[in-house]
Chains A and B, each alone.
Chain A
Amino acid sequence: MTLTMENSVGAPAAQAAPRNDLKFACRGVNVHYGDAHAIKDLAIDIEDRLVTAFIGPSGCGKSTFLRCLNRMNDTIAICRVTGDLKLDGEDIYAPRVDPVQLRARVGMVFQKPNPFPKSIYDNVAYGPRIHGLTSNREELDELVEASLTKAGLWNEVKDRLDKPGTGLSGGQQQRLCIARAIATKPEVLLMDEPCSALDPIATDRIEQLIGELRSQFCIVIVTHSMQQAARVSQKTAFFHLGHLVEYGDTTDIFNKPRDKRTEDYINGRFG
């Protein structure tokens, strides 16, 4: 395996032995949108049962790379992904992999809460239904309750499960989307700026939730808030112009980054 200078900084080889099992092992990943080279020869290992934050200026490729992890980029016609992306040692871009099945294992929560225009119950039950995770109504009820409980929303909605999900507050909608994402019993949760449309109280609620879910999932979060990354993550990756500039323990990245670009970015000097 040859790494460019860019990547050797954050390459797993330069890291201490991982504390947890690896969830994703990515090598030589390149992403093109037509002629634009969005991700350049990226190598990263993502550990299970902790929170990894992706930070970097807009357009640096962090969201693009996040979307590679559950093949959300497949839906963009001009997007081309090459390289090795392995989930538990399996190539997720292999022809036999069904992207729909993959996305059940690798759930996603978006920046703007996007509940389906259905009832609260049906929002959460949607995934389990299409994946046939339960065999009867009772099991489905249980799964819906368990998912809403894990997402910290159950007590607030248990009396109005048949009301539309869109009638909830922004923070509640986001937690509903998290409940929906974890209802399919995924192994990984991808979060693309999950709090940027929320007020500080709802943000705090989601951050607490991330802390709780961390013991059961591999969580990858894209955020523009350095303080949020410092608060919720154990590992941080800094992206710039399609390169992974620096990757390491969150405390190191925010206390003594090795790269000048990281230092400048986390203090808001460019981007």
Chain B
Amino acid sequence: MIGTDGDIRKLSNAIAEMGGVAEANLSRALDALAKRDAALAAEVIQDDKRLDRMEKQVDELAVRILMMRQPMARDLRAVIAGLKIASTLERVGDMAKNTAKRAQILAEGPAHRSIGPVVRMGRQSLQQLTQALDAYANGDLELAQQVWRRDVEVDELYNSVFRELLTYMMEDPRTIGACAQLMFVAKNIERIGDHATFIAEMTNYVVSAEAPPPADDRPKAPLEAGFDELEESAASEGAASGGAKIE
């Protein structure tokens, strides 16, 4: 296929490929966490470079399309959304990588009871991501809507995992190290759910020309009373230093 159609097709194929790598990396990072497999975690960390390269390729292709085709309407939206989704997937990759790094650390210590629930939460996020990418690839508004509404479930899982980890830490201070790692992993996974939501919003934007709603309008699970402040500070910690320290 040639012309504008061909270029747009190339762009969405590149995104689909990126999405595939991001999904695989997240899935393997979760496996590494569940099976305490440091070697697998190392592979994921190595593979993240591929996503970075792919994002660059999508950027270059998008700029080329804008320059040569000067697309309008849906094509223009497809290019804008493509750029945003590529950078979102790159960030999902970073979070998978960060999860893998923490899996390496956790593999050195004893097994922890909370790994199971965190991995289950991760699988839920992964499913959200897969469906968001499917909805994007097929322009499926209904599926995009479902993904958008279901992010609440990941949020709820996150709240309960958070509570569980706090309880363990209070019960036995020797688990604080492992629980703190898991808390950051859970936060990563919760963020990946948000990214899946964003991809669903971009799909809606491409297909129906509706601007994405303000982030406040997204369905959200209410934080449990008393946990708000803790959660907030953990979240900013996670964004500011939690990820960076381990890089």
Q: Which residue of A lies closest to B209 (CB)?
A: A256
Bound: A149/B172 CA distance, A: 85
Q: How large is the interface on B (under 10, 10 to 19, 20 to 34, 35 or more residues)?
A: 10 to 19
For A230, list chain B residues within 8 Å (CB): 72
For B209, list chain A residues within 8 Å (CB): 255-256
State whether A266 and B72 are in contact (beta carbons under 8 Å apart), knowing that A255-B209, A256-B209 are contacts in the complex: yes
A257 at the interface (CB under 8 A from B): yes
For A254, list chain B residues within 8 Å (CB): 72-73
Contact A257 B73 (CB under 8 A): yes
A34 at the interface (CB under 8 A from B): no
For A269, list chain B residues within 8 Å (CB): 3-5
Contact B72 A226 (CB under 8 A): yes
Q: Which residue of B lies closest to A268 (CB)?
A: B4
Q: In the complex, what's the smallest C-beta–C-beta distance from A156 to chain B, in angstroms? A: 31
For A249, list chain B residues within 8 Å (CB): none
Contact A227 B73 (CB under 8 A): no
Interface centre among A254, A257, A268 (most CB of B within 10 A): A268
Bound: A257/B209 CA distance, A: 10
B167 at the interface (CB under 8 A from A): no
Give A194-219 interface residues, CB cut-off 8 Å to B.
none
B74 at the interface (CB under 8 A from A): yes
Bound: A230/B73 CA distance, A: 11
B48 at the interface (CB under 8 A from A): no
Q: In the complex, what's the smallest C-beta–C-beta distance from B68 to chain A, in angstroms? A: 11
Bound: A255/B71 CA distance, A: 10
Give B8-64 interface residues, CB cut-off 8 Å to A.
none
For B72, list chain A residues within 8 Å (CB): 226, 230, 254-255, 263, 266-267
Main SS class of interface, A: helix
Q: In the complex, what's the smallest C-beta–C-beta distance from A46 to chain B, in angstroms? A: 23
B69 at the interface (CB under 8 A from A): yes
For B70, list chain A residues within 8 Å (CB): 226-227
B94 at the interface (CB under 8 A from A): no
Contact B69 A268 (CB under 8 A): yes
Contact B3 A268 (CB under 8 A): yes
Q: Mark A220-232, 1 if CB is under 8 A from B, else 0.
A: 0000001100100
Contact B4 A263 (CB under 8 A): no
Bound: A230/B72 CA distance, A: 10
B194 at the interface (CB under 8 A from A): no
Contact B69 A263 (CB under 8 A): no
For B90, list chain A residues within 8 Å (CB): none
B190 at the interface (CB under 8 A from A): no
Give A250-269 interface residues, CB cut-off 8 Å to B.
254-257, 263, 266-269
B151 at the interface (CB under 8 A from A): no
For B3, list chain A residues within 8 Å (CB): 268-269
Bound: A230/B71 CA distance, A: 12
For B75, list chain A residues within 8 Å (CB): 267
For A263, list chain B residues within 8 Å (CB): 72-74
Q: In the complex, what's the smallest C-beta–C-beta distance from B98 to chain A, in angstroms? A: 38
Bound: A263/B74 CA distance, A: 8
Q: Mark B183-195, 1 if CB is under 8 A from A, else 0.
A: 0000000000000
Contact A256 B73 (CB under 8 A): yes
Bound: A227/B72 CA distance, A: 9
For A255, list chain B residues within 8 Å (CB): 72-73, 76, 209
Q: Which residue of A lies closest to B8 (CB)?
A: A267
Bound: A266/B76 CA distance, A: 11
Q: Which residue of B lies closest to A267 (CB)?
A: B75
Interface centre among B3, B72, B75 (most CB of A within 10 A): B72
Give A225-251 interface residues, CB cut-off 8 Å to B.
226-227, 230
Q: What would 12 A/B residue contacts be, using CB atoms closer than 8 Å?
A: A254-B72, A255-B76, A256-B73, A256-B209, A263-B73, A266-B72, A267-B4, A267-B69, A267-B71, A267-B75, A268-B69, A269-B4
Instruction: Report, nearest first, the 3 A-B pairs whose CB atoms are least far apart.
Output: A256-B209, A266-B72, A267-B75
| Further pairs besides A263-B74, A267-B71: 19, Cβ < 8 Å | A226-B72, A254-B72, A254-B73, A255-B72, A255-B209, A256-B209, A257-B73, A263-B72, A266-B72, A267-B4, A267-B69, A267-B73, A267-B74, A267-B75, A268-B3, A268-B4, A268-B69, A269-B4, A269-B5
